[in-house]
Structure 1
Amino acid sequence: MVIGAGLGAMATAARLAVAGHTVTVYERTSTYGGAVGRFEREGFAFDTGPGLLHLPAVYRDLFVKTGKKPLEECVGLSQVDPAARHVFADGTRVDLPNASRAGTVAALDAALGAGAGERWGDFLTRAREAWDRTRRPLLEEPQPADPKALAREPYPALKAGLLRRPTRTLAQVGERELRDPRLVALLDSYAEAYGFPPASAPAAAAVLPYMEQTFGSWYVAGGIRALADAVYERCRERRVRFVFDAPVDEVLTEGERAVGVRLGSGEAVEADHVVVGAPVPELYREQVLPWRSGDEWTRFQRHGTSRLTVLLALRGAREEGAVHRTVVHAAGGLPSVTVLRPDDPALRPDADHESVTLSAMVGSAREGDWAESAARMVEAAGRAVPGLAERLRWQEVRTPEDVRAATGTSEVPGPALADAGGSWLPAPSLSPVPGLYFAGGWSHPGGGLAHAGMSGALVAGLIVEGAEFRGSR
């Protein structure tokens, strides 16, 4: 039994079905996909969650392991090149190529001055060391019962000052190793994309730009929602049963082992294994999950960030030289905004219109009118989209409350990070209760499409192979 129909939960369900389990997915909303949503109006279509895919190998592996058709026969995949255009606060612009270390160094030298590319390249070399040290324990193995093994800082920071002060945060990495404020802003943007404040994110967050710039950014034809469609269809092919509009009120236990769930309708459903693909902190808070201690859920809380999204329907075709993704860095009190402009006929009514998505990470606890924030995002996006104000036909604002409606919580989880305190680790795949497992963005190895897919492989391995399971390969 699986609770929730997000990408990580469906990845778990498909793998378990192939292994011979009878799998039923209970989803509290009327559709699948979780945060991977879609909004359509008047021939315009938009992704309301992630817009790009990183590490597509995760989903290639899922489709290879669960059926005859590989991923590329189920969805159209293409690399985004350039990977991103960055518009800095001082007006400087740079286009970074997709998955090209040499090209990135050259582009930074050309835009920011000689030496900028070399400093960034040296930083990526150190980031690779952090990646090599954490890749397997953070991404491919179940989280150990004692997470202290993952609490060591893996980033080999340059020593600073006469006192050789340690570098503990990503902000310190930028300040001490990159120096140029534009390079610092570039580094910060990779953490901020997940809602991680650079001033508190561990230096190990250096793996985020390394991962994207090494393995590339990919677009799914028709939008990321098409990937959710494909995973759902693969589950159906493997005879996974889906029950929608079926919230779970309680995970039932017997002799301290999970034995099923009680639905919102009052019906009790038995199960040999219960996989939770819904937000772990929220379910502990609401006492849906069995408690072992009064404050157990607090260990799994994240950092209180959500996503504000503005969907823009524009008149006029994309101009020549337009890029898929632009990061407009904070300037003049405006927020940093990611602007997505996919050149995809499936997302627009005709060639004389364009669908554009703006997103920014915001505090999840805020309440009230988001219109002012949305207006400031549109103003910032004008630095990336020529004539935006004149082209605007209509807009739709998606707030943290819309995130809550889709996923069960207004917060957006980020990937697991290693650090000295272990506070950036999500819930482990194995819960404290036998027979109960955690999958999806709120569990190991954390949020993001690729990480959620990895969680499915880990949970399926633990259920199928038991304690002998040592991780996916």
Structure 2
Amino acid sequence: MARIVIIGAGMSGLAAASRLATLGHRVTVCEASGTYGGMVGRYERDGFAFDTGPGLLTLPAVYRDLALKTGREPLEDLVGLAPVDPESRHLFPDGSDLALPNASRGGVGQALDAAFGAGSGERWNAMINRGRTVWEATRRPLLEEPLPADPTPLHTDPYPVPPRRGLARLRPTGRWTLSDVAARELGGHPGLTALLAEHALRFGFDPRSTPASATVLPYMEQSFGVWYVKGGLRALADAVYRRCEQRKVEFRFDTRCEEVLTADGRARGIDTTAGPVEADVVISALDANVRHHELTGTAGTPDDRPASAHHADDIPGRFVVLLALRGERPAGTVHRTVVHAADPAAERAGIFDRGAPLAERPTVQVLRPDDPSLHPAGHHTAVLTATVPSTRAYDWAAPGAADRFADQLLAHADAAGLGLGERVLWRVVRTPADTRREHGSLFGSVPRPALPGARGAYLQAATEEYPGHYLIGGAAHPGGGLARVGMSACITANLIGPA
């Protein structure tokens, strides 16, 4: 039996703790805040409840595996789980209205043909098939195994660039980006381009520079589906926390880690605000920058920070508006609606180009769950989310900045016909600055999944930093997002092994 201390009670910390305790280890989790769940938070007021982090679950197989390996129970015995269908509704500036079915490649093709004209579905599905090639080439090394000691093979994008014809053969190929895919494979169609770009923007990726391997994101979503956890995703955090309690994991809340203790080149425990905690293994589930600046005492220069932290100040954040709405949820309302940007070029400049103004009508995701446990009778809720510049690139604390942008998002959604503004009882605005303050991230950035290609620029820090010290969570391999942080916990538990 090893003594294991985990820094952070976010979802990766909870998942790792439950797995390792099931393997027979003595596990202690030290959490700086007073609760668990990390980014999977909850806001409650006047009988309304909201997820403050992710609102939908993809790749539920990760948490199904966790439930089975730690308790021999199906995930559905721990939480209410339901597919979201339609998976999403998309409203475009030209008035096009597109509803995509959940986990149905054929259905998606038919919906695209109906919305954008014959052949649109064929174009899209041909691109998705190439995204499947990326999935098959990288699933094991990028999602199921530790980052290889030599990650060079993952520096090359496995996206199969289609053969070029005519004069195009004379131009150098270079590295394909998502923008190249949209232009050359989707024919530059504005609707299809916006649909592809939305998958990138959601994770803080700039389509103009993100490698074509990011087509794996829509492939995974359309192949494995999107799911809703009844009661919100906080219910999933509650379930994993209960499993930890059943496996006798010790939690120390309001206990901040100050330093990782080492001896003879190996981690030997941590020093906390409540005193030292001795351990045979230390697992850090923290932002890569926080870990290096605060725990190891490094200066934080590009040479001593992990690759995933090099450009963290350029990674966008999420702007969220929680809406308490009067009246019942209108009949026929879909769970997830995406209102696309009026000017995609202006939106990308406002997010990624330093000094450019924010777009007034950006892409906004609207979640309106049909879940009576989240609101008083006769009312309902909505959550608006947009990708925005990080706190380093934009001053979200400037007087009136957050409220003005929230007004713009609400007006943009209502101009598309959602009719939210007239129903608002009250709202809460959350900016990347709030994320940074609450979760310790230096920049309040979007957790991003690892991607192959671009010479390794989109890979995360390796799982094992030095003997006895492991990294999990969104800043470590295989990257951010609820499914991937669960994968990072699984990878680490497998490396440590049973007691």
- Distance change in 2, residues 1:200/1:81 (3 Å): same
Match of 2:451 among 398, 417, 420: 417
Separation (CA, whole Å) in 2 of partners of 1:298 and 1:141: 19
Tell me whether 389-398 or 282-291 shows the greater mean CA deviation.
282-291
State the SS of the aligned residue for 1:382: helix
Describe the superposition over 1:38-68 as per-residue Cα deviations: whole angstroms up to 9, x where unpaired.
Answer: 1111111111000000010100000100014
Separation (CA, whole Å) in 1 of partners of 2:302 and 2:219: 39
Question: Are 1:314 and 2:325 matched, yes or no?
Answer: yes
Percent identity, aligned pairs only, is 52
Separation (CA, whole Å) in 2 of partners of 1:291 and 1:231: 36
Question: Are 1:334 and 2:368 matched, yes or no?
Answer: no
Separation (CA, whole Å) in 1 of partners of 2:181 and 2:420: 36
Partner of 2:384: 358
Question: Are 1:210 and 2:228 matched, yes or no?
Answer: no
Separation (CA, whole Å) in 1 of partners of 2:102 and 2:178: 23
Partner of 1:251: 260
Deviation at 1:24, TM superposition (A): 0.4
Question: Do the aligned partners of 2:293 and 2:300 also contact (CA within 8 Å) in 1?
Answer: no
Deviation at 1:159, TM superposition (A): 3.9
Separation (CA, whole Å) in 2 of partners of 1:58 and 1:85: 26
Match of 1:271 among 269, 275, 279: 279
Describe the superposition over 1:369-393 as per-residue Cα deviations: whole angstroms up to 9, x where unpaired.
Answer: 3111111111122145632221111
Partner of 2:425: 393
Q: Which amino acid aligns with 2:35?
A: T
Question: Are 1:348 and 2:375 matched, yes or no?
Answer: yes
Describe the superposition over 1:229-261 as per-residue Cα deviations: whole angstroms up to 9, x where unpaired.
Answer: 001111111011111111111111111211111
Match of 2:480 among 447, 452, 463: 447
Deviation at 1:455, TM superposition (A): 0.5
Question: Are 1:27 and 2:31 matched, yes or no?
Answer: yes
Question: Do the aligned partners of 1:11 and 1:456 also contact (CA within 8 Å) in 2?
Answer: yes
Question: Do the aligned partners of 2:24 and 2:498 also contact (CA within 8 Å) in 1?
Answer: no
Separation (CA, whole Å) in 2 of partners of 1:418 and 1:386: 38
Separation (CA, whole Å) in 1 of partners of 2:50 and 2:483: 20
Q: How many residues align?
A: 463
Q: Which amino acid aligns with 1:241?
A: E
Question: Do the aligned partners of 1:94 and 1:108 also contact (CA within 8 Å) in 2?
Answer: yes
Question: Do the aligned partners of 1:93 and 1:111 also contact (CA within 8 Å) in 2?
Answer: yes
Alignment of 1:18-417 (within 5 A): 18-160=22-164, 161-164=168-171, 165-179=173-187, 180-265=189-274, 267-288=275-296, 295-301=303-309, 302=312, 303-331=314-342, 333-350=360-377, 352-364=378-390, 365=392, 366-367=394-395, 368=398, 369-383=401-415, 386-409=418-441, 410-417=444-451
Question: Do the aligned partners of 1:311 and 1:397 also contact (CA within 8 Å) in 2?
Answer: yes
Partner of 2:355: none
Deviation at 1:408, TM superposition (A): 1.1
Separation (CA, whole Å) in 2 of partners of 1:291 and 1:3: 21
Match of 2:462 among 425, 428, 437: 428
Question: Do the aligned partners of 1:339 and 1:384 also contact (CA within 8 Å) in 2?
Answer: no
Question: Do the aligned partners of 1:119 and 1:177 also contact (CA within 8 Å) in 2?
Answer: yes
Q: Which amino acid aligns with 1:401?
A: A
Instruction: Return the TM-score normalized by structure 2.
Output: 0.90
Partner of 2:348: none
Separation (CA, whole Å) in 2 of partners of 1:169 and 1:465: 42
Separation (CA, whole Å) in 2 of partners of 1:298 and 1:384: 42
State the SS of the aligned residue for 1:379: helix
Describe the superposition over 1:271-301 as per-residue Cα deviations: whole angstroms up to 9, x where unpaired.
Answer: 1000001112222133446799972215222
Separation (CA, whole Å) in 2 of partners of 1:137 and 1:163: 34
Question: Do the aligned partners of 2:37 and 2:237 also contact (CA within 8 Å) in 1?
Answer: yes
Root-mean-square deviation (Å)? 1.7
Describe the superposition over 1:380-429 as per-residue Cα deviations: whole angstroms up to 9, x where unpaired.
Answer: 22145632221111110011122123321112221110013101001111
State the SS of the aligned residue for 1:310: strand
Describe the superposition over 1:283-330 as per-residue Cα deviations: whole angstroms up to 9, x where unpaired.
Answer: 213344679997221522244211110001111112221100011111
Question: Do the aligned partners of 1:6 and 1:32 also contact (CA within 8 Å) in 2?
Answer: yes
- Distance change in 2, residues 1:304/1:285 (3 Å): farther
State the SS of the aligned residue for 2:317: strand
Deviation at 1:149, TM superposition (A): 2.1
State the SS of the aligned residue for 1:370: helix
Q: Which amino acid aligns with 2:469?
A: L
Q: Which amino acid aligns with 2:492?
A: V
- Distance change in 2, residues 1:12/1:384 (3 Å): farther
Tell me whether 404-413 or 47-56 shows the greater mean CA deviation.
404-413
State the SS of the aligned residue for 1:213: helix
Q: Which amino acid aligns with 2:418?
A: P
Deviation at 1:145, TM superposition (A): 1.5
Separation (CA, whole Å) in 2 of partners of 1:444 and 1:163: 38
State the SS of the aligned residue for 1:296: coil
Question: Do the aligned partners of 2:320 and 2:385 also contact (CA within 8 Å) in 1?
Answer: yes
Separation (CA, whole Å) in 1 of partners of 2:295 and 2:41: 27
Deviation at 1:363, TM superposition (A): 1.4
Instruction: Return the TM-score normalized by structure 1.
Output: 0.95
Tell me whether 61-70 or 97-106 shows the greater mean CA deviation.
61-70
Question: Do the aligned partners of 1:275 and 1:439 also contact (CA within 8 Å) in 2?
Answer: yes
State the SS of the aligned residue for 1:249: strand
Q: Which runs of 5+ in 1 are unaligned?
A: 467-473
